[in-house]
Structure 1
Amino acid sequence: MHTAKKNTIDWNSPDALEQLAQHIRNPLQSIINVSKTSTACDPKNIEKILFSSSKEINDIVEDILAKVRTNTLSLTYHDRPDIFHIYESNENVRKMCTGELQPQKVAKIDQNWLVGLEREVYGNINQEYLDLNELSYKMAVSERQLHRKVANLVFLTPNKYVRILRLHRARQLIDSYVQQSVSQVAYTVGYKDVHYFSKLFAEQYSISPKQLLGSFR
């Protein structure tokens, strides 16, 4: 039987949105599973699971509303680049880097620059090809400087950095139920070749997007 757990979201964490999605996903999955097997389950047990799961979701919503009312909730983090969290939480990404990324040693001005770079990438993420020359122009550096700066700060080429961010956004779309199919996810983050997208996704997350989507159904 599903037992509601106390909400343990760290609202000050840069991955609070991912935590929120996970906390909502678990009771939702319980409701979905019960719906699929409703004819074979004890009605009283179904009622208990539905009540427990619904209450868990309601508690999370009430917590969010309370924080919004008191202005203590902010789910946008502009002071820490996404690549830091991605690097820290993903061994496959760490292996892509040519050196050890130490976020605490990256100067604030450079962190802000990376945040700006990520904003530009996310703003054009549905484009199949991101022109590095244009990206450099928007970041007020030459293309050579872009390569050098990204390499010095995160030990990646700009193209690999962009790819990691694309796949990170794809994972967010899947985790939050925003898209219903692999092709939708792929197109949203700029991949027209769904097979190639799936291959890259599996390399970064050690699971295919199809398997990940299937695990939520």
Structure 2
Amino acid sequence: MTNILKLVKLDFALIKPYIKIIFIALLSPLIVMYTMRDIISGTIFCMCIMAITSGYTFSVVEKNDLNRLYGLLPVGRKDIVSARYLFIALEGLILNFIGVSANAIILTILKVNFTFSDILIGFSVGHVVYYFFTAIQLPLFFKFGGIKGRFFSFLPFLGIFSISEVAKRMSTDKLAELSSIAIINNPYGILILSILFGILSYSISVGISQKIFSRLE
């Protein structure tokens, strides 16, 4: 575990010069939050944008030929994979918190009413969106690298577009059936489910990435 934490610190040191770029990437979601005036929709869009940033660390390592550095470290490849996932997971938590907080501030300024339950649901949905897309992206980044794998950074947009198209085609009756499910009306239940979803999706994704990375020369 000590090696993994040290690798997380190394990843943070590598991405630190790009933190400004990540925060600049938050500007477009803030504009969308202003126009949507809905904490859940705004957070979904925000975390889609933030999921794209998961490839930054891979790109920095590849551009600066730092794979040799990682190869010289007295750590196993599984530790490198686990540390990268932990770093990106922590990044997602922080960005989700910032996104939801910014959304709440914007809505307060606009005098749009929202509740604490709305905040919990927004955070939970943002959590699911970020961890779902990064769980898909990360094995692809380990396989193809940050530069060749840049195409996969746009998967969140494709996913959200697909979800929105499906939602548009759902009948009012179907939507009413979904809203009648008890867990959907329980913000704490949704939060717990989102956490369990994140753990499950990352557990599967980590296993896939470790197999991919262990086979690379």
TM-score (norm 2): 0.28
Structure having the larger proportion of residues in helix: 2
The higher-RCO structure (CA 8 Å, 6+ apart) is 2
| Larger CA Rg, structure 1 vs 2 | 1
